[in-house]
Chain A
Amino acid sequence: MIGILRSAWLIAEKDLKVESRSRELVYTTLFFAVTAVLIFAFSFVQEDSSIPAGSASGILWVTLTFSGTIALTRTFEREREHDTLRGLLLSPVERPAVYLGKLMAVLLLLAGVELVLVPLTGLFFQAPLGRAPWLLFALLATGTLGFASVGTLFAAMLVRARSRDVLLPVVLFPIIVPVIIAGVRGTNALFTPETDVAVARMWLAMLVSFDAVFLSLALWTCGPLLGE
C-alpha cells in the first residue's frame, strides 16, 4: 500500500514537474474557465444587472466541468504525443499506482484552477463565499474528486481511441450527473439568502459516498481497463 502511494506520488511529481516547465495546462485551462464565466455572465445577468437566483452555483459547477474536461484531455494528449503512457504502463509499478498518480496530478491542477475560479464567481455573481467556507471547501473538494476519479480513468482509456476529444465528454458527462446535481444543489444551499447547512451536509454525504464507490471501482478496474 505504502509502495503504491509512493510510486503514485512519483508519477504525480513527474507530471507536475513537466507542467511547471511549460505551464501550458494551467494557463490555458484557467483562461478557458475565465472566458466561460464571462459568457455565462453575458447570458444570465439581466439588463438591470440583477442576477437570477441560483445561477452562481450552476455557473461555478458548469465551468468546473468544462474546464476539467479540457484539462483531462490535454493531460493525456501530452502522454500520447510523446508516446510516454506506454513507458509508464511498462514501468514496474502497479496499475493502481499509475492511475492514482495521474489522478493526483489532475486534482492539483484543478485545485489551482478553482483557486481563481471560485473567488471570481463570488465577485461577479455576488455569491457569499465566506458564509460556510469549510462546507463550501468540502463540497468543492469531494465534487472535484468525484469528477476527476471517473475522468482520469476514462481519459486514460481513451488515449488510444479514435476521436477521443469528443468521446471523453460523451462518456464522462452522463456518469458524473450525480456529482453535478449534488455539487450544484449543495453549493446553492450555501449561497441562498437563508443558508441551509443541513441540506448542504446531506449533499456532501452523497458526494462522499459517490467518491468512495467510484474511486474503489476505478482502482479495481484500472488493471483491465488501462490495458496490458
Chain B
Amino acid sequence: MTRTVPVLLLVAAAMLAASPFMIDAAPPEVTMGLVQKIFYVHLPSAMIFMVSSVICGVASALYLMGGRSPKADRTSVAAAELAIVFGLITLVTGPLWGRKAWGVWWVWDARLTSTLVMWLLYWSFTLLRRFGGPGSETLSAGVGLFGMALVPFVYWSVNVWRTLHPLTSVVPRLPASMGIPLWWSVVAFMCLFAALFLLRTRVEKLRTDLDAALADADE
C-alpha cells in the first residue's frame, strides 16, 4: 500500500496534466460550443461521486450486519468524505454548464435534486462522525445504510416533475474524438480517487490506533 499511493498519484497527475490538451483537441459540440468542455470534468466527478456513495452504503451495511469490523467503518468514513469532495466538484461544474446551456444556474430536475440530497446525506454522515461523540460509528453506519435505500425514492419522486438533464445513455454513443478524452479524464479521476481513498483509510486507521493507545496508556 505504501507504494501504491505514490504510483497512483503520479499516474493521476500525469493524466490530469495531459487531459487539457486532449479536451482542447476534441471537437466542439454543435449547439453548446466551448462550454460543453466542462463535461470532461463534470461527468468523471459525478461518476466517482456515485462510486463512493455505493462504497459507503455497502460498507455501512457490512459494518452493521457483519460484527462491527473496523475495516468496514474506515471504508465508509473515507468513502463518505470523498463523496463530499467529488459531489462538490459535480455540483459546482454542473450549474456553470447549466447557466450557459439552459440559461439558469439551477433547475429542480431529478438528477440535480437527487445529487444535492445525496450530497447533503454524506454531509450528515460526516457531521455525525465529527460531532456525535463515542458510539457515532454505529449511528453513521445507519445513515449510510438508509441513504442507500433512499436513492430510488428521491430519484423517482423528483423525476415526476420534469427532466432537463441529458441522459447518460448518450455516453456510449459518443464519437471517438469526444469519447477518448472523456474516458481519459474518467481514468485520471479514478486514480486520484483510489489514491485519496487509500490515504484516508490509512489516516483513519492511524487515528483509531492512536485513540486505542491513548486509552491503554490512561488505564
On A, residues with C-beta under 8 Å from B are 150, 153-154, 157-158, 160-163, 166-167, 170-171, 173-175, 177-178, 181-182, 185, 202, 206, 209-210, 213-214, 217, 221, 224-225, 227
Contact = CB atoms under 8 A, between A and B. Distances in A.
Given A171-B143, A214-B146, A178 B131 contact: no
A170 B124 contact: yes
A161 B150 contact: no
A224 B64 contact: yes
Nearest to A217: B149
Nearest 9 Cβ contacts at the A-B interface: A162-B133, A178-B153, A161-B132, A174-B121, A174-B120, A181-B157, A178-B157, A170-B124, A171-B124
Given A157-B139, A161-B133, A178-B150, A206 B157 contact: yes
Nearest to A181: B157
B150 A175 contact: yes
Which secondary structure characterizes the binding site on chain B?
Answer: helix
B138 interface: yes
Given A157-B142, A174-B121, A178-B150, A167 B127 contact: yes
Interface in B59-73: 64-65
A154 B117 contact: no
B149 A213 contact: yes
Nearest to B108: A181
Interface of B: 64-65, 117-118, 120-121, 123-124, 127-128, 131-136, 138-139, 142-143, 145-147, 149-150, 153-154, 156-158, 160
Given A157-B142, A174-B147, A177-B150, 9 more contacts: A150-B146, A157-B139, A163-B133, A167-B128, A174-B124, A175-B121, A181-B158, A202-B160, A225-B142
B127 A174 contact: no
Contact of B149 (A154, A166, A174, A214): A214
A100 B64 CA distance: 20
B165 to A, nearest CB: 17
7 contacts: A162-B131, A167-B128, A178-B154, A181-B157, A185-B160, A221-B64, A225-B64
